[in-house]
Amino acid sequence: MPLSGNEEWRSKLAKLPVPLAVSSDPLSMACLKSLIEEGRVSREQGISLFENPSLSSVSSLADMVKKSRYGNNVFFNENLHVNTTNVCVLACRFCAFRKGPRHPEAYSLDIDEYLDRIRPLSESIDEVHTVGGLHPKWDVNDYCTLFSATKEEFPNIHIKALTAVEIKHLSKTSSLSVEETLSKLSEAGLDSLPGGGAEILVDHVRDRICMGKESSQEYLDIHSIAHKIGMSTNCTMLFGTVESIEDRVTHLIRLREQQDASKGFQCFVPYPFLPDKTRLPEAQLATGSEIIRVISISRILLDNIPHIKAYRMNIGDKLSSLALTCGADDIDGTVGHEEIMHVAGSSTRLDTSTDQLAALVKSSGSIPVKRNSNYSVFEKYTTSNPSYSRVLPQIGMT
Ligand code: SF4
């Protein structure tokens, strides 16, 4: 099994032993048959998976799909999150991060402050992840200057930055098309886009939770243009606000269709709404089992998106470890600093060392594999600290 995954995953899936939880559930068996036979899990089946009383059958099927692609390998990278500004012209109802320009806690990093965040870790990270608010005075040239300075000092660090709505905002403040904006940013050093801001790709839901943000189609179009100019991107889903099960499935199918067309999504990152300190009292919220179900169904429906991430900054280390046995093959990296989820109530530790992260991966019976940002270079990670050696036996495939 190559570390990077198995292109022949469907035929591999056909050869895996079928767990009792799957074989005893007609819906899971029908989905398994579709996947093996080059078919697709339909919208109706997706809705039924959400309504299936047997979570173990759904999660076991997702684990089979994950194992058919990657065996027991689980991927991570060594990265750092740096947020440029929390000043934002919008006020999404779920967002605890944004501040108005005159708020006492509003901040906007200048270039030196940004580089100062990277400097102490520049020898140990290979990616900086940067998103922020929609600053009313910043245009594309501000970010080009920032990225050029970052690449000049840290040429080996991959810059993953700017969500789709930030790209839309910069194109507007710069009077450029989205393609011109992305091309300029790419020339300045932007390597890829994160997936943030997808929320739920259904406009009546967006109108309730993030009025004024890009529309569903604009989100997809911006990612499509990035893919067209050779820039890979991630995609996300924020669930547990006001969406229905049908809305969640619509979201997943829209991403699947976009991936059919433009093929540049690397990783899907689902995460639930964190309610603390934010302003969406009618949100339904998501329980732990709901989170595991969403991750599992993502792996089953998104047959053309290579990776599914357990976003531990949001769902925490304990659920993330479980998610690695339910379809997720990728886990957030060392991170070092994170604001958006923490200001909304996340208590995930930010000082996790690579050894501790590897131990978390091993605790799920998986093999930690360090990857680069493009998922093109892989290295099995060997823990250097014997105090993190407690692991479960690895079962089945290697
Ligand atoms: S989610 Fe993004 S666009 Fe919306 S208010 Fe927060 S920072 Fe602004």
What is the whole-number distance in angstroms between the Cα of residue 207 and the centre of ligand 1? 14
Ligand 1 atom with least separation from CA of 132: 7
238 by Cβ neighbours in 10 Å (0-12 / 13-18 / 19+) ranks as buried
171 sits in which H/E element: helix 164-173
What is the whole-number distance in angstroms between the Cα of residue 65 and the centre of ligand 1? 34
* 114 closest CA partner among 153, 83, 86, 140: 83
pLDDT for the residue 393: 46
- As given in the structure block, the two tokens for residue 383 are 């823990």
38 by Cβ neighbours in 10 Å (0-12 / 13-18 / 19+) ranks as exposed
Q: For ligand 1, pick from 83, 89, 93, 97 the residue to mutate: most ligand atoms within 8 Å of CB.
A: 97
Measured by CA distance, the residue closest to atom 4 of ligand 1 is 92
- CA-based angle 40:307:156, to the nearest 5? 150
What is the whole-number distance in angstroms between the Cα of residue 162 and the centre of ligand 1? 12
What is the distance between the alpha carbons of residues 163 and 92, in angstroms, rounded to a whole number?
14
Which mean pLDDT values do the consecutive 10-residue runs of the chain (398 residues) have? 76 97 98 94 97 96 98 94 96 93 96 96 93 97 98 98 98 98 98 98 97 97 98 98 97 98 97 82 91 98 97 92 98 74 71 85 94 92 64 46
Ligand 1 atom with least separation from CA of 94: 1
pTM for the model stands at 0.94
Q: For ligand 1, pick from 87, 89, 93, 98 the residue to mutate: most ligand atoms within 8 Å of CB.
A: 98
Ligand 1 atom with least separation from CA of 210: 4
pLDDT for the residue 343: 76
Ligand 1 atom with least separation from CA of 133: 7
Q: Is 95's C-beta closer than 6 angstroms to any atom of ligand 1?
A: yes
Domains and CATH numbers, the chain: 9-70 (no CATH), 73-388 (3.20.20.70)
End-to-end CA distance of the chain: 7
Q: Is 90's C-beta closer than 6 angstroms to any atom of ligand 1?
A: yes
